[in-house]
C-alpha cells in the first residue's frame, strides 16, 4: 500500500519552524506495511493545497495530512478537503458543546472563530483531540484513507498513538504490530550489528539499529494476530539480545540513563554527590533534569581551575603528580565530594573537552571515578568529537558506569 504525508503551513515554507512531524510519522509507517512514497509541504493557500491533495488522492492509498486545522482564516485544510471531495462542511453541534465546556472550564470567553473547528464533512469521522481544540478527521472513500491531524507535535503524536495508529493497524489486515526499543551503551554500531547479525535479517520480529547520543538503540518490531502473541515474540527476541549484549543494555523505550540511575538510588535510599572539572556542571545538570532528584542528589562541585580545587581542599600534589585528567584524580574527586557533601556515593568526572589537549592527553579522553565508601574504582573512555559532544559523552559514560556499580 502506498502512503503519502502532507505537511500544511506557510510557517514551514518560511523556514520559521522545522517540520519534525513528517519524520515522526514516516518512522511509524513501515511496521504497518505502508510504503511511504512522498512527503510534501504546502502553504496556507487553498488552491495549491487542493492540487496537492488531488495528486496524492490519485497516486496513493493512504494520505496523512498535518496542520492547517486552527481556528483562524488562514487554516484551510478542512475547506480544501471539502473541495477535493465535493462535500459540504456543516457544524457539528456536539463539538461546539465540547468547546464551550472547555472554554468555560478555563473561564475564557470562546472566540467566535473557534466554531470553524467544529466543521465536518459527511464522509469524515471526527477524531477527538484531548490536548487541544482541533479535532482530526478519518476519511474512507473510493478505496482510499485520508487522515488529518493538528500540526503541534504534542497534539499530533497523542492523537496518532491513541486513536489513529490502532485504527490503521486494524484496517491494514487486523494484525497487531508492537515495537520495543532496547538501549545500549559502550559498543559501536558496527559491533552491535555484528553481534546482533543473526537477528537483523529475521522478518518477524524485525530488528533495526540506530546510533543515538546515549548509545546504540535496537528496535524490535513484531506482527501478530493478537497483542499477546506480538508481545511474546518481542519478549523472546529481547531475551536473545540481552543474552548477547549483556549489561550493555541499560534500558528500554522512554528510559533515560539519569532516570534509571535516579530510580536505583531512590530504591536503595542512597545519596549521590558529584565533582566535575571540564564537563563544567553538565553531569549535575543532567542528574537534576529528573523531577524529584532532590530525594537522592545532594549537590555538586565544579572545579574548573586550581583555585576551585584548592577551595574544595583537593590534594594539589595529586594533580601535579598524575594530572588534572587522570584516573587517580577522578577517584580522588569522587572521594572528596562524597565526604564533603556527606553522601553515600561520590562520582568524579574529568575529561579533555578542548580546545587543546591537556597534559599530553588528546581531546575526548575521559576518566570516571566512583567511591561508594567501601570500594573506589575508576574507568577510562575515549570518544573523538567536538567540545559539546565530548561533554555529553563523558556524562553518558559516567551515568552508565554509575548504573553498573549500583546493580
Site residues (CB under 8 A) for its own copies, limited to 326-365 = 340-343, 354-355
Q: Is 57 in the site for its own copies (CB under 8 A)?
A: no
Q: Which of 118, 216, 265, 284 binds its own copies (CB under 8 A)?
A: 284
255, 176, 181: which is closest to 219 by C-alpha?
A: 181
Q: Which of 130, 174, 269, 291 binds its own copies (CB under 8 A)?
A: 291
Residues 208-227 touching its own copies, rule: CB under 8 A, are: 210
Stretch that binds its own copies, among 114-122, 136-144, 269-277, 370-378 (CB under 8 A): 269-277
Distance (Å, rounded) from C-alpha 185 to C-alpha 195?
14
Q: Is 321 in the site for its own copies (CB under 8 A)?
A: no
Q: Which three cell numbers stand for residue 194?
A: 555484528
- Render 260-280 in DSSP notation, one character per residue: HHHHHHHHHT--EEEEESTTT
Q: Quick one: 16 or 109, whose CB is closer to its own copies?
A: 16
Q: Is 316 in the site for its own copies (CB under 8 A)?
A: no
Please enumerate in sequence order all residues whose Cβ is within 8 A of that of 319, keeping only pairs 6 or more positions apart, or say none: 306, 309, 329
Q: Is 23 in the site for its own copies (CB under 8 A)?
A: yes
Stretch that binds its own copies, among 15-23, 81-89, 116-124, 374-382 (CB under 8 A): 15-23
Stretch that binds its own copies, among 136-144, 174-182, 260-268, 290-298 (CB under 8 A): 290-298
CB of 226 to its own copies, least distance (A): 27
Q: In what order do the strands lie in the sheet with 249-252?
A: 206-212, 215-224, 176-184, 249-252
Which of 12-45 are b and which e, b meaning 16 or more Cβ less than 10 Å from the residue's Cβ? Answer: beeeeeebebbeebeebbebbebebeebebbbbb
Q: Quick one: 129 or 336, whose CB is closer to its own copies?
A: 336
Q: Which of 1, 33, 39, 176 binds its own copies (CB under 8 A)?
A: 39
> Is the C-alpha dihedral spanning 10, 15, 20, 26 positive or negative?
positive
Under 8 Å between Cβ of 250 and 184: yes
Q: Is 269 in the site for its own copies (CB under 8 A)?
A: no
Q: Is 135 in the site for its own copies (CB under 8 A)?
A: no
Q: Is 320 in the site for its own copies (CB under 8 A)?
A: no
Q: Is 160 in the site for its own copies (CB under 8 A)?
A: no
Distance (Å, rounded) from C-alpha 219 to C-alpha 210?
8
Q: Quick one: 23 or 226, whose CB is closer to its own copies?
A: 23
Distance (Å, rounded) from C-alpha 140 to C-alpha 184?
41
Q: Is 323 in the site for its own copies (CB under 8 A)?
A: no
Q: Which of 62, 118, 196, 282 binds its own copies (CB under 8 A)?
A: 282
Q: Is 294 in the site for its own copies (CB under 8 A)?
A: yes
Q: Quick one: 117 or 221, whose CB is closer to its own copies?
A: 221
CB of 285 to its own copies, least distance (A): 4
Under 8 Å between Cβ of 344 and 270: yes
Q: Is 64 in the site for its own copies (CB under 8 A)?
A: no
Q: Is 58 in the site for its own copies (CB under 8 A)?
A: no
- Render 99-168 in DSSP notation, one character per residue: HHHHHHHTT-PPPGGGGGGGEE-TTEEEE--TTSS--EEEEEETTEEEEEE-SSHHHHHHHIIIIIHHHH
CB of 3 to its own copies, least distance (A): 9
Residues 76-115 touching its own copies, rule: CB under 8 A, are: none
Please enumerate in sequence order all residues whose Cβ is within 8 A of that of 326, keeping only pairs 6 or more positions apart, or say none: 350, 359, 367
Binding mask 176-215 for its own copies (x = CB under 8 A): ----------------------------------x-----
Amino acid at each position: 500500500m502506498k502512503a503519502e504525508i502532507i505537511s500544511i503551513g506557510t510557517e514551514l515554507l518560511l523556514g520559521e519552524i522545522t517540520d519534525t512531524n513528517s519524520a515522526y510519522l514516516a518512522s511509524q509507517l513501515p511496521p504497518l506495511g505502508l510504503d511511504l512514497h512522498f512527503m510534501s509541504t504546502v502553504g496556507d493557500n487553498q488552491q495549491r493545497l487542493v492540487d496537492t491533495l488531488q495528486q496524492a488522492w490519485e497516486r496513493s492509498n493512504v494520505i496523512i495530512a498535518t496542520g492547517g486545522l486552527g481556528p483562524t482564516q488562514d487554516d484551510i485544510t478542512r475547506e480544501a478537503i471539502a473541495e477535493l471531495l465535493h462535500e459540504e462542511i456543516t457544524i457539528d453541534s456536539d463539538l461546539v458543546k465540547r468547546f464551550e465546556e472547555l472554554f468555560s472550564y478555563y473561564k475564557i470567553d470562546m472566540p467566535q472563530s473557534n466554531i470553524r473547528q467544529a466543521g465536518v464533512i459527511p464522509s469524515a469521522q471526527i477524531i477527538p483531540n484531548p490536548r487541544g481544540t482541533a479535532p482530526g478527521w478519518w476519511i474512507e472513500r473510493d478505496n482510499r484513507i485520508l487522515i488529518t491531524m493538528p500540526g503541534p507535535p504534542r497534539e499530533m503524536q497523542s492523537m496518532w498513538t491513541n486513536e489513529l495508529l490502532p485504527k490503521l493497524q486494524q484496517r491494514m489486515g487486523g494484525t497487531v504490530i508492537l515495537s520495543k526499543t532496547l538501549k545500549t551503551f559502550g559498543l559501536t554500531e558496527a559491533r552491535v550489528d555484528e553481534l546482533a547479525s543473526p537477528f537483523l535479517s529475521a522478518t518477524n520480529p524485525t530488528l533495526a539499529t540506530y546510533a543515538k547520543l546515549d548509545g546504540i538503540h535496537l528496535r524490535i518490531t513484531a506482527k501478530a494476530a493478537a497483542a499477546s502473541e506480538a508481545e511474546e515474540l518481542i519478549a523472546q527476541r529481547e531475551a536473545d539480545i540481552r543474552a548477547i549484549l549483556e549489561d550493555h543494555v541499560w534500558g528500554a523505550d522512554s528510559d533515560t540513563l539519569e532516570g534509571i540511575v535516579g530510580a536505583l538510588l531512590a530504591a536503595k535510599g542512597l545519596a549521590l554527590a558529584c565533582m566535575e572539572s571540564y564537563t563544567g556542571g553538565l553531569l549535575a545538570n543532567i542528574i537534576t533534569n529528573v523531577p524529584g532528584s532532590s530525594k537522592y542528589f545532594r549537590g555538586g562541585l565544579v572545579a574548573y581551575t586550581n583555585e576551585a580545587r584548592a577551595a574544595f581542599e583537593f590534594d594539589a600534589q595529586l594533580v601535579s603528580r598524575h594530572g588534572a585528567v587522570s584516573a587517580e584524580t577522578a577517584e580522588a574527586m569522587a572521594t572528596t565530594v562524597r565526604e564533603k557533601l556527606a553522601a553515600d556515593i561520590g562520582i568524579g568526572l574529568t575529561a579533555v573537552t578542548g580546545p587543546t589537549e591537556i597534559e599530553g592527553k588528546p581531546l575526548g579522553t575521559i576518566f570516571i571515578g566512583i567511591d561508594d565508601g567501601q570500594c573506589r574504582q575508576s574507568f577510562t573512555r575515549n570518544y573523538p568529537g567536538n567540545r559539546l559532544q565530548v561533554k555529553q559523552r563523558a556524562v553518558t559514560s559516567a551515568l552508565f558506569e554509575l548504573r553498573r556499580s549500583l546493580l
